Amino acid sequence: MIPGPTPVPETVLKAMARHPIGHRTSEFQSVVQKTNKQLQWLHQTSNDVLVITGSGTAAMEAGIINTLSRGNKVICGNNGKFGERWVKVCSAYGLDVIEIKETWGTPLNTEQFRKILEADENKEIKAVIVTHSETSTGVINDLKTISKHVQNHKSALTIADCVTSLGACNVPMDEWGLDVIASGSQKGYMMPPGLSFVAMSDRAWNAYNESNLPKFYLDLGPYRKTSKNNSNPFTPSVNLYFALEAALEMMQSEGLEQIFKRHSRHRYATQEGMKAIGMSLYASEGYGSPAITSILTKDIDAEIIRKLVKDRFDILLAGGQDHLKGKIFRIGHLGFVNDRDILTVIAAIEAVMSSLGMHHGKVGDGIAAAASTLQ
């Protein structure tokens, strides 16, 4: 029950267990052709969705370096570990970064984006880089509103880290006018780590033609060219493509609306279960991510709770990062997760808190609250 790698369905594992085939064969090209269409369905776009053998960070770095040039001015939202990472990536490539910072656990202030973009009369800002679901804190940022402000600017691009939001909540690329979306296979895709995905708009491809940042393996031009022939410029992870095909078939069978509803139900059930036993949510009220819930532990080291839940119930929870280590633990509920999983993890946490004498209320209150929400 961590936010990645997430549980992998047996169907996907079996698909991945096939013997590898040549990545230049017609058999493999048929897999690429099918998954290309499925990826457009998932991203809700008619534009290219390119597949890189690498992590979500590779996808985000690719999105940045393929659309920008050295010295370009960019706005970077920073309210967690991953927003902080994109600031570092931009700085490494010599971009001029304007940070919009918020305290970890707090959503990005959309009005700050609006004011800075409206004040940019000379159109010097070339991109706005935002983490949609901030995995480190369990906060969902208002990407739709931020993207609207970027569109009003008419020059800047919206580059979005959707690593833990894609496949967990609605991210309609074309409708929201998003220019770059990055994601990774080990999250909502219900797969092992190893593949990352970059969706690019026409505006982003126009910017690509002007970009002068160094790139080779992450140069998206060759990926786009070979994708049109159902191929890849380098040797892809063939067996992860088999897994991708199986996972996307499962997702299409469930349907986007049902996937989003399931994740929303699990978010609220987890939140209500934790509150019922006296635990505090770390993310600001109303901004909890559908992919992950972070819990603030005020009177006990969060690592003690994580250890007891793992030792006694064999359930792994995620810990806090950097200054939040020992202060929060995180419950992942994205991808291949069902109601039983939610009730099980809440029961385990409730039992541990009771054994520590830190359960506020009657044992069973957490399960009752979660079950009521799920119903």
Q: How many CB atoms lie within 10 A of CB 154?
A: 8
Enumerate the β-bridge partners of residue 180: 159, 200
Position 312 confidence tier, pLDDT thresholds 50, 70, 90 = very high
Query: How high is the pLDDT of residue 359?
Result: 85
81 pLDDT higher than 90: yes
Enumerate the β-bridge partners of residue 184: 196
Provide CB contacts within 8 A for 19, sequence distance 6+. Answer: none
Where are the CATH 3.40.640.10 domain residues in the chain?
10-254
Q: Are strands 328-332 and 292-296 parallel, antiparallel or unpaired?
A: antiparallel
Where are the CATH 3.90.1150.10 domain residues in the chain?
256-374
Give the model confidence (pLDDT) of 318-373 as tens digits: 999 999 999 999 999 999 999 999 999 999 999 999 999 988 888 999 999 999 99
**Max CA separation in the chain (angstroms):** 63
CATH number for the domain running over 10-254: 3.40.640.10
Position 266 confidence tier, pLDDT thresholds 50, 70, 90 = very high
Provide CB contacts within 8 A for 367, sequence distance 6+. Answer: 273, 343, 346, 347, 350
Query: Please, what sign has the CA dihedral across residues 162, 163, 167, 169?
Result: negative
pTM above 0.85, yes or no: yes
Q: How many CB atoms lie within 10 A of CB 228?
A: 9
CATH number for the domain running over 256-374: 3.90.1150.10
Averaged pLDDT for residues 263-274: 98
Residues of the chain with pLDDT > 70, as a percent, come to 100
Position 289 confidence tier, pLDDT thresholds 50, 70, 90 = very high
Query: How far, in Å, CA of 21 to CA of 28, rounded?
Result: 7
Query: How far, in Å, CA of 141 to CA of 124, rounded?
Result: 24
Query: How far, in Å, CA of 184 to CA of 174, rounded?
Result: 20
Averaged pLDDT for residues 41-70: 97
Enumerate the β-bridge partners of residue 74: 97, 127
Residues of the chain with pLDDT > 90, as a percent, come to 97
Query: How high is the pLDDT of residue 360?
Result: 84
Query: How high is the pLDDT of residue 261?
Result: 98
Averaged pLDDT for residues 40-59: 97
- pLDDT, mean over the chain: 97
Q: Tokens 């080291």 belong to which residue?
A: 301
Give the model confidence (pLDDT) of 211-259 as tens digits: 999 999 999 999 999 999 999 999 999 999 999 999 999 999 999 999 9
Query: How high is the pLDDT of residue 225?
Result: 97
Both structure tokens of 52? 């890189």
Q: How many CB atoms lie within 10 A of CB 115?
A: 13
Averaged pLDDT for residues 92-101: 98
3 pLDDT higher than 90: yes
Query: How high is the pLDDT of residue 124?
Result: 98
Query: How far, in Å, CA of 209 to CA of 18, rounded?
Result: 39
Position 291 confidence tier, pLDDT thresholds 50, 70, 90 = very high
Query: How high is the pLDDT of residue 102?
Result: 97
Written as one string, the DSSP assignment of 308-347 is HHHHHH----EE--GGGTTTEEEEE--SS--HHHHHHHHH
User: For the chain, percent helix, then strand, then coil, each to nearest 5?
Assistant: 45, 15, 40
Whose CA is closest to 169, among 194, 149, 140? 140
Averaged pLDDT for residues 130-156: 98
Give the model confidence (pLDDT) of 173-197 as tens digits: 999 999 999 999 999 999 999 999 9
The kind and range of the H/E element at 253 are: helix 238-254
